[in-house]
Amino acid sequence: MITDTHAHVFWTDFDADRQAVLERARAAEVSRMIIVGTNPDTSAQAFALCEGQTGLHPSAGIHPHDAADHGEDSRELIRELCLRPACVAVGETGLDWFKAFSPREAQVANFRWHLQLACELELPIIVHCRDAHLDTLALLREFSGVRGVMHCFTMGERELAPYLELGFYISFSGVVTYPKNIDNRAAAKVVPRERLLVETDCPFLAPQGQRGKRNEPALVRSVLEHIAHVRGDDFTQLARATSANASLLFGLPDL
């Protein structure tokens, strides 16, 4: 019933109990997960994890944190992974001016390359944006027709509108459950149902009540419950709607 549209279950945090994590997710009715790569190595790990696993679907990309460390050879590896039939998206990629682990110029070049690839392959793109709202918008607007998701959307209603105008889906994580994030909840309340997605971004950003602990796909249920409450929506109907949205965006079989 539920789709976690952004999970990093290949991370070493899950080495001791990965299969149990997947079983807990399915017990919580999280029947599908997008396993998102962040560089050539983790993207390859995402594909390996998904192979033979029902409901797991991989993406490949280079995270903005890693942009300065990966040039043409790495990009060619990402392209090769994205060309595989199993690949459902390009990314995670984007801009992060908050931590700035890579210089801005490297991040911009990296993001632009991924946008070109997504357009070329007609795949959706998974966009990371932190403290880089206007620059992210400017790059997205360079690529007419590009489609995708603003992953882990942490901004408010004011920043939301331009992404909706571009046709992007908006995905909310455990951040929306944190008491101080009033603006983020306001955005979650007004996103059109047909553009709404949910995610964990695990092992990061566990929802309130589990905050500070390792996140895992089963906990996306808490995110969805919180958003349903904020919106005044029925939980089951919202679960079905967000999963249907994931099917449309990522080209997944209907549940």
Write down the pLDDT at residue 9.
97
pLDDT in tens, 131-189: 999 999 999 999 999 999 999 999 999 999 999 999 999 999 999 999 999 999 999 99
- Residue 73: pLDDT over 70: yes
Average pLDDT over residues 116-124: 98
Average pLDDT over residues 33-37: 98
What's the longest Cα–Cα distance across the chain?
Answer: 49
Helix (H, G, I), strand (E, B) or coil at 32: strand
Helices (H), 28-180: 40-50, 72-82, 104-121, 133-142, 157-165
- Residue 253: pLDDT over 90: no
255: pLDDT confidence band, cut at 50, 70 and 90?
A: low
Average pLDDT over residues 16-44: 98
Write down the pLDDT at residue 254.
75
Rounded distance, CA 190 to CA 114, Å?
Answer: 29
Rounded distance, CA 47 to CA 58, Å?
Answer: 5
Higher-pLDDT residue of 253 and 32 is: 32
Write down the pLDDT at residue 148.
98
Average pLDDT over residues 68-97: 97
For the CA atoms of 245, 246, 252, 254, the dihedral, rounded to the nearest 10 degrees, stands at -50
- Cβ proximity of 255 and 31 under 8 Å: yes
Share of the chain above pLDDT 70, in %: 100
- Residue 204: pLDDT over 90: yes
Q: Among 74, 85, 1, which Cα is nearest to 43's? A: 74
pTM recorded for the entire structure? 0.97
Residues 6+ apart with CB under 8 A from 172: 152, 153, 184, 188, 196, 197, 198, 199, 223, 227
